[in-house]
Amino acid sequence: MEIDETDRRILAVLQKHARITNAELSERVHLSASACHRRVQRLEAAGIISAYVALLDTRRVGRPSTVFVEIKLSGQSDEVLEAFERHVRRIPDVLECHLMAGTADFLLKVLARDTDDFARIHRQHLSRLPGVVQMQSSFALRTVVQTTAIPL
């Protein structure tokens, strides 16, 4: 599906203000309310808008520590990759898992309460992932930029 400049304006607003009313959205993007509503429905149906979520403050919910974990696997066969991916999906503390090009096979983003909590996550989950031959964890000291908004 092609998206035009009006769709881009709608998406830009919704990425930052997902709970905005259709009336407010239509006013901001200079469309009638009905035309705006049809466009949003079309973007949803096409899967361009895949979900609406609430973003939480990690500190206020007791998960202030972000840890990036680089993982190297024993091989790149479909069986090794699929087994790893199946197991990592079950770890509730893993926010993101990316198959990588470069020195690491996977990069995980993990949220923890503190270093002791990360040690628990490592001991109970990460150390048990299949096919892992090397793991390196890096604690983020400060988040400089964090957004979910995709540049349009």
Domain with CATH 3.30.70.920 in the chain: 65-139
132-139 β-sheet, strand order: 94-99, 106-112, 65-73, 132-139
What is the torsion angle, in degrees rounded to the nearest 10, for the CA atoms of residue 7, residue 8, residue 12 and residue 18?
20
- pTM summary value: 0.89
In CATH, the number for domain 65-139 is 3.30.70.920
CATH for 5-45, options being 1.10.540.10, 3.40.720.10, 1.10.10.10, 1.10.287.130: 1.10.10.10
The pair of structure tokens assigned to 113 is 């309460």
Tens-binned pLDDT, residue by residue, of the chain (152 aa): 899 999 999 999 999 999 999 999 999 999 999 999 999 999 999 999 999 999 999 999 999 999 999 999 999 999 999 999 999 999 999 999 999 999 999 999 999 999 999 999 999 999 999 999 999 999 999 999 999 999 99
- How far apart, in whole angstroms, are the C-alpha atoms of residue 149 and residue 34? 25
List, by residue range, all CATH 1.10.10.10 domains of the chain.
Answer: 5-45
Structure tokens at 34: 């009905």
